[in-house]
Amino acid sequence: MKALVYKGPNQASWEDVPNPQILQPTDIIVKIDTTTICGTDLHILKGDVPAVTPGRILGHEGVGTITEIGAAVTNLAIGDHVILACVSACGHCSYCKKGLFAHCLASEGAPGVGWIFGHLIDGTQAEYVRVPFAETSVYPLPAGVTPQQGTLLSDILPTGHEIGVVDGHVKAGDVVAVIGAGPVGLSVIATAGLYGPSKVIAIDLDANRLDKAKLLGATDGVLSSDPDWKEQVLALTDGLGVDVSVEAVGIPQTFAMSLDIVRPGGHVANVGVHGKPVELPLQDLWIQNINISMGLVSTNTLDVLLKMVEQNKIPTEEFISHTFALQDMEKAYDVFGRAAETKAIKVMINA
Ligand code: NAD
Ligand code: ZN
């Protein structure tokens, strides 16, 4: 089969590799129908994720059709269309029992790390993929949901929802600010709407992304390059700050921004993956009763979000900026890698 193989920093190629085989009785083999590229794949390609070694097939998102099932798999059948969660969950360990699939202790490669596709085992940017712990890691695709919509549920929608909205305790009437309107920040914006906030303020450097944010439910957009960006945000509140401030970029500057605009008693939900330490001014924050959360997605709300997508409660079509054929994977990487120029959000890659 063909797959996108990581060759080392700044090198990957769409090439012939052996087809995956069932290795454990809980495995299935899935023929990929639709996959996509994540910002994390670009980090891997730059060489920023050393756990990914040359030879690894990339990708952790997608929808496909089951072609083989392991002997222990009883609730799935050949021919089923399934959404692949980006996190693999054994379903039995102490973390899985709590729904904290992000830390599944049975995970292959590194116990305690649930994200293994395209990281510690071969991933979904391929014609076929081996899926471990299939019964507890894939979700049947309902008839009314397209493979492209399903692919948004592998990672970005659960990430925005769980780490941004749920951990940020967004509730009815809240003013929510989301810093960074990339695919993940846009997912925070789209899923925050499910809880009835009074305002959702998108903050980004890129005016195109603020426009996109409004199509996904943001009520206001603020350009963070404006010198008075903070005053603009505070003017959209009662002057005291936002109830929930979500960081969806992953750099010290935007984490500091998220602390700057939150009101006393408010929540700061950090979604961004940081490569460098950030400053945490506890001397100022403690007396303001600020709550700060962070985490790796578990995809434990994928099934709930799937219902919302099925009922058209999330305008999923706004996420999809480009469509490619599977054999044009390298072209898809090029377009996604130049998002500021190409206005790429999610590129859908279809078999
Ligand atoms: P992205 O790079 O596509 O989007 C980031 C956005 O931030 C862009 O629109 C950019 O213009 C904007 N931005 C950059 N600097 C800014 C600034 N100074 N002020 C305001 N906006 C600024 O990234 P993405 O794919 O949307 O992912 C966002 C973050 O979420 C990344 O750090 C990613 O690694 C992380 N992530 C976390 C999890 C998790 O489980 N916690 C899962 C997936 C992704
Ligand atoms: Zn587990």
Encode pLDDT of 194-231 as tens digits. 999 999 999 999 999 999 999 999 999 999 999 999 99
CA distance 205 to 224: 5
Distance of CA 309 to the CA centre of its chain: 16
- The structural architecture, per CATH, of the domain 158-294 is 3-Layer(aba) Sandwich (3.40)
Regions of the chain short of the pLDDT cut 50: none
CA distance 191 to 161: 6
- Tokens at 205, concatenated: 């450097």
CA of 204 from ligand 1 middle (Å) equals 10
Task: Map residue 99 onto helix, strand or coil.
Answer: coil
CA distance 8 to 55: 8
Pocket test for ligand 1, best of 249, 251, 276, 345 (most atoms within 8 A of CB): 249
CA of 108 from ligand 1 middle (Å) equals 28
Amino acid at 7: K
CA of 86 from ligand 2 middle (Å) equals 14
pLDDT number for residue 37: 98
CA of 184 from ligand 1 middle (Å) equals 6
What's this model's pTM, rounded to 2 decimal places? Answer: 0.97
How do the residues of the chain divide into helix, strand and coil, expressed in percent and rounded to 5? 30, 25, 45
Atom number in ligand 1 closest to CA 272: 32
Distance of CA 281 to the CA centre of its chain: 28
Atom number in ligand 1 closest to CA 340: 11
pLDDT number for residue 109: 79
Domain positions in the chain are: 2-155+298-350, 158-294
pLDDT number for residue 48: 84
Q: Which fold does the domain 2-155+298-350 belong to in CATH?
A: Quinone Oxidoreductase; Chain A, domain 1 (3.90.180)
Count CB-CB contacts under 10 A for residue 176: 30
CA distance 341 to 319: 16
pLDDT number for residue 241: 98
Ligand 1 pocket residues where CB is under 6 Å? 39-40, 159, 163, 179-185, 203-206, 209, 224, 248-250, 253-254, 271-273, 296-297
pLDDT number for residue 108: 86
